[in-house]
C-alpha cells in the first residue's frame, strides 16, 4: 500500500513490519539555541495484535512519568500512545540511545517494586477511578522479560 508522506514521523512507519517490544528514536529537533530534543517510541505491544487495557496503562503512565525523572533530569515528557500499544518519551540534550534503554529499564524496575500508584486521586488525576497497579506490573514484567529485544525494531536479531 502506497501511503502519502505524513507530518507525524511514526505515521510513516509501517506498523505491520515492527516487532514489539522495542524502543526507537522517532524524531529529533534542534532549537535556535542549539538545544536538542530526542523523541522515542517505547512500544510495549505488537501493533494491531495486542494492546494494554486502560487501567493498567494509566497506572503505568503515572508510575513511569513520576519515576523516570529520578533517573534522568533530561526528560521532557512521557505519555501514552492513543492506540494503547506504547508510550512516547522525549529528552532534552540527551542523545545516548543505550542510556535511554537503561533509564527505561530502571523505571520499569521501579514499577515492579511499587506499592501504590502515584497521584491516583481526584485532585491529581483526570480519571482517578481508572487505575490498576497489578495491571501495570503485568505489562511492565512482560516488557522487561524481553529486554534483550528493545534495541531491535524490526526483529532482525
Residues near Zn ion (CB under 5 A): 125
User: Least Å distance between CB 130 and Zn ion?
Assistant: 8
The three three-digit cell numbers of residue 55, written as one number: 487501567
Looking at residue 51, the DSSP 8-state letter turns out to be -
> Which is nearer to Zn ion, 35 or 116 (by Cβ)?
116
Distance CA 23, CA 50 (A): 17
User: Least Å distance between CB 126 and Zn ion?
Assistant: 6
Q: Which of 18, 71, 8, 72 is nearest to 49 (CA)?
A: 18
User: Least Å distance between CB 114 and Zn ion?
Assistant: 15
How many angstroms from the chain centroid is the CA of residue 57? Answer: 10
> Which is nearer to Zn ion, 123 or 148 (by Cβ)?
123
> Which is nearer to Zn ion, 121 or 141 (by Cβ)?
121
Distance CA 102, CA 98 (A): 6
Amino acid at each position: 500500500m502506497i501511503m502519502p508522506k505524513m507530518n507525524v514521523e511514526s505515521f510513516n512507519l509501517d506498523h505491520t513490519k515492527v516487532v514489539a517490544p522495542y524502543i526507537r528514536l522517532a524524531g529529533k529537533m534542534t532549537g535556535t539555541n542549539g538545544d536538542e530534543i530526542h523523541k522515542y517510541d517505547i512500544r510495549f505491544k505488537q501493533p494491531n495484535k495486542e494492546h494494554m487495557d486502560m487501567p493498567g496503562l494509566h497506572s503505568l503512565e503515572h508510575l513511569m512519568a513520576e519515576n523516570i525523572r529520578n533517573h534522568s533530569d533530561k526528560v521532557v515528557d512521557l505519555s501514552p500512545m492513543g492506540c494503547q500499544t506504547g508510550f512516547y518519551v522525549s529528552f532534552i540534550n540527551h542523545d545516548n540511545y543505550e542510556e535511554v534503554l537503561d533509564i527505561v529499564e530502571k523505571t520499569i524496575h521501579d514499577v515492579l517494586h511499587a506499592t501504590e500508584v502515584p497521584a491516583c486521586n481526584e485532585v491529581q488525576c483526570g480519571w482517578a477511578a481508572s487505575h490498576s497497579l497489578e495491571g501495570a506490573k503485568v505489562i511492565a514484567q512482560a516488557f522487561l522479560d524481553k529486554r534483550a529485544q528493545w534495541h531491535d525494531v524490526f526483529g532482525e536479531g
